Structure 1
Amino acid sequence: MTPFDEMNRAFDRMSRNFGRMDLSDFGRVNWGDLDGMRRSGIDIDVAEYDDEIAVVADLPGFSNEQIDLTVRDGVLSIAAERTMESDEGDESGAYLRRERRAESLRRSITLPAEVMEDDASATYSNGVLTVTLPKVTVEEGSDSHHIDVN
């Protein structure tokens, strides 16, 4: 048992004590996953292959236009932002619950190898973003310079 288990039980007691009040916005926190709080809401997988690095990120509910990717100095930055839709039209009803809100997510990943930034590509399908970053190939001897001895 962790101290966070006691916090979850306290939320449960608070929910019971307040009866009909809707406390669902507080949610239950998985305190055991402290890494999840650091991730800024974007779950990723990073894979390194011989010739490329692949980053796969879950971004459900966004469109291609709402996603911004940059790579600079070995850091891939992912940003996604959506705004709340306006409520125009039918005035005969009112929201009883509204959970889909504006959202802004950001995550930066230090890449495990040098990449050719200009050749990076990305696809987005069914809420999954896949970024492919070709690695810089070092040809033997290309990083050295011959010095003549006089």
Structure 2
Amino acid sequence: MRTNHWLPSSWFGHKDADTSLMSLRDQIDRLFDDFGEGLTLRDRRFAMKSDISETETDLTVTAELPGMTEADVTVSVSGNRLTIEGEKKTETSSRDDKENADDKDARAFHRIERYSGSFRRVMSLPFEVDPDAVSARMKDGVLTVTLPKPPEVQAEARKIVVERAT
């Protein structure tokens, strides 16, 4: 009699392992592999993570793009769409192993976890954007895009006073 009846049978190496549980896990793993930005070691795609904040007068998109400069990034606006795209290049160097056999700086990589590749992110905004009013700045791998709201959108926003119920 097994005392750990609450554990999946597959943990004990039984031939009648709970295949439905493993099937569910495989489906969930595939879902997460396909979802979002695809940050799996199999894909090796570079993903842009961003924050969006809003004031009465503008929207601000802040994106983390580590290791990138303003030359690596393109920002464009069309109608109510903001597009941020770019490419993070892999740093590579070519060395002749025989020539550098005694070189202490020669490296053999056993694992690479830093991602590289191209990305493209399109964001739909709740208003049409004036491309001439948009500003984008890059500092220390952080891109900040400021999108001023049109006057008619600013006028629509009205603060409502919340009163205490009696």
Match of 1:7 in 2: 26
Match of 1:115 in 2: 129
Match of 2:117 in 1: 103
What's the TM-score, normalizing by structure 1? 0.61
Shift of 1:3: 6.8
Q: Retained in 1: the 8 A contact 2:77–2:129? A: no
Q: Percent identity?
A: 29
2:64 counterpart letter in structure 1: D
Residues in 1 aligned to 2:117 and 2:47: alpha-carbon distance in whole angstroms: 10
Residues in 1 aligned to 2:57 and 2:71: alpha-carbon distance in whole angstroms: 28
Residue-by-residue CA offset, 1:20-76 (whole Å, 9 max, x unaligned): xxxxxxxx98939934549x7222222222111111112112111101100111111
Do the aligned partners of residues 87 and 68 (structure 1) sit closer, same or farther apart at CA in structure 2, a change above 3 Å counting?
A: same
Is there any run of 5+ residues in structure 2 with no aligned partner, and where?
1-20, 40-45, 154-166
Q: Secondary structure at the match of 1:54?
A: strand
Do the aligned partners of residues 83 and 72 (structure 1) sit closer, same or farther apart at CA in structure 2, a change above 3 Å counting?
A: same
Structure 1 residue aligned with 2:54, among 37, 48, 59? 48
Do the aligned partners of residues 58 and 3 (structure 1) sit closer, same or farther apart at CA in structure 2, a change above 3 Å counting?
A: farther
Match of 1:91 in 2: 100
Match of 1:146 in 2: none
CA-based RMSD of the aligned residues comes to 3.5
Higher Rg of the two aligned structures: 2
Q: Secondary structure at the match of 1:65?
A: helix
Residues in 1 aligned to 2:23 and 2:59: alpha-carbon distance in whole angstroms: 36
Q: Secondary structure at the match of 1:31?
A: helix
Residues in 1 aligned to 2:23 and 2:51: alpha-carbon distance in whole angstroms: 27
Q: Secondary structure at the match of 1:96?
A: coil
Residue-by-residue CA offset, 1:111-143 (whole Å, 9 max, x unaligned): 12222211111112222211001111139xxxx
Q: Retained in 1: the 8 A contact 2:78–2:129? A: no
* Pairs aligned (count): 118
Residues in 2 aligned to 1:3 and 1:31: alpha-carbon distance in whole angstroms: 15
Residues in 1 aligned to 2:151 and 2:23: alpha-carbon distance in whole angstroms: 47
Residues in 1 aligned to 2:67 and 2:109: alpha-carbon distance in whole angstroms: 22
Residues in 1 aligned to 2:70 and 2:78: alpha-carbon distance in whole angstroms: 21
Question: Where in structure 2 are the equivalents of 1:1-150 lying within 5 Å?
Answer: 6-7=25-26, 31=32, 34-37=35-38, 41-88=47-94, 91-92=100-101, 93-97=106-110, 99=112, 100=114, 102-138=116-152
Is there any run of 5+ residues in structure 1 with no aligned partner, and where?
9-27, 140-150
